[in-house]
Amino acid sequence: MKLTVQKKLWPLREPFVIARGTYTTSDVIIVELQDGPHVGRGEAAGVDYHGETPDSMLAQLEAVRTRIESGITRAELLKLLPIGGARNAVDAALWDLEAKRTGRRAWDLAGVGNTREIASAMTIGIRSIEGYEKTARGLAHYRWIKIKVNKEDPLACVQAVRRGAPNSRLIVDANQAWDVPTLYALGPKLAELRVDLLEQPVKVGGDDDLVAGRSPIPVCADESIDTIDDLPRLKSRYEFVNIKLDKTGGLTAALELAQAARAEGLRLMVGCMVTGSVGMAPGMVLAQLCEVVDLDGPLLQAEDWANPIQYDRTGVMSWPTPALWG
């Protein structure tokens, strides 16, 4: 088996501003695994708040190149590489390669089928109040809109989006910018605006006073969860967990985490780092198990892969073609 790894910078349509910073490109790695006539692909951005970069992921893969090229299973990969983008990219390529070898689609190999329609949220980054309303007006046909906010008057930001998109379901993502008292103070007002989900409003490790069910809006852990090991401390604090393949280190581990989270009574969201359609495609397999879907990476980019995933006016995603992935 031959391993090829390269870096890719996808330009974004506009600067993407969240509470952690501003991004103008999506910086990813692309992995290809070739076995005879078959080539499997994976794409990953890594987890920047864990210190991952394309260069660090490339270094991880070069360190284990010989082992990968000698032939490796997904189960063996879980022991070979730690969680993160490098393992995600190889895991995705292994899924794709198996689909190409067997002629079966990845969601059938995963045992989840593809009967559930996948409607992704579309994300609005931080901007002026007027900008929130104007942007929301242009996205009002989406079923779901995700609103990035920080600690600067988040209520006004959500009010502006609600004016622009009166019928869309809303996710508010503060990326750890609030504390627990702020969350509980804002909760009833955000509920009046028909917000459906609050995503990681408080800092990782700053949620000791968070109690599941106390907020009128369900609260979702994102940066607070990477693996199954995180579930015991989260289940009494959060109603949802956001599973991202870059965090878990691939679809294989993500499917295991999803089942374990369900067993603990937690509800599921699938999210993404910003990548192209090859990075989104494995997330669509996981999305079959999730109530809330945020797989809008390609919509934030100015460019994408050939044969990309298509999104209709409401955010419903087309299934990836075999020419793309899986």
pLDDT in tens, 118-129: 999 999 999 999
For 157-212, the DSSP string reads HHHHHHHH-TTSEEEEE-TT-B-HHHHHHHHHHHHHTTEEEEES-B-TT--TT--T
Six token digits for residue 240: 């949802």
Cα 317 to Cα 300: distance, rounded to the nearest angstrom: 15
Mean pLDDT of 228-248: 97
* The one catalytic residue among 8, 100, 244, 247: 244
Position 23 pLDDT exceeds 90? yes
Annotation says 134 is catalytic: no
Tell me how far apart the alpha carbons of residues 126 and 129 are, in angstroms, rounded to a whole number.
9
Amino acid at 312: D
Residue identified by tokens 């983008």 is 85
pLDDT tens-digit map of 180-216? 999 999 999 999 999 999 999 999 999 999 999 999 9
The residue ranges of DSSP E strands in the chain, in sequence order, are 2-18, 21-35, 38-44, 122-124, 144-148, 169-173, 195-199, 219-221, 240-243, 267-270, 292-293
What pTM does this model have? Answer: 0.96
The single residue of 8, 100, 148, 247 carrying the catalytic annotation is 148
What residues are designated binding site for Mg(2+)?
173, 199, 222
Per the CB < 8 A criterion, the answer to whether 240 and 226 are in contact is no
List Cβ<8 Å contacts ≥24 apart for 33-37. 33/1, 33/2, 33/3, 33/4, 33/68, 33/90, 33/93, 33/94, 33/97, 34/1, 34/2, 34/4, 35/1, 35/2, 35/97, 35/101
CA 104 remoteness from chain centre: 25
Residue 282 has pLDDT above 90, yes or no: yes
Q: Which residues does the annotation place in the binding site?
A: 173, 199, 222
Confidence of residue 164 (pLDDT cuts 50, 70, 90): very high
Q: What is the mean pLDDT of the chain?
A: 97
- What is the mean predicted confidence (pLDDT) over 290-296? 98
**Residue 59 — φ and ψ, nearest 5°?**
-60, -40
Please, what are the domains in the chain?
A: 2-103 (3.30.390.10), 122-300 (3.20.20.120)
Say if residue 20's pLDDT is above 90. Answer: no
**Residues 183 and 215: beta-carbon distance below 8 Å:** yes
Q: What percent of the chain has pLDDT over 90?
A: 98
DSSP state, 4? E
Q: Quick one: DSSP state of residue 67?
A: H
- Give yes or no: 8 in active site: no
Spacing of C-alpha 196 from chain mean position: 18
Sign of CA dihedral 160, 164, 169, 170: negative
pLDDT number for residue 188:
97
pLDDT at 19: 83
Paired sense of beta strands 169-173 and 219-221, if any:
unpaired
* CA–CA distance, 326 with 282 (Å, rounded to integer): 8
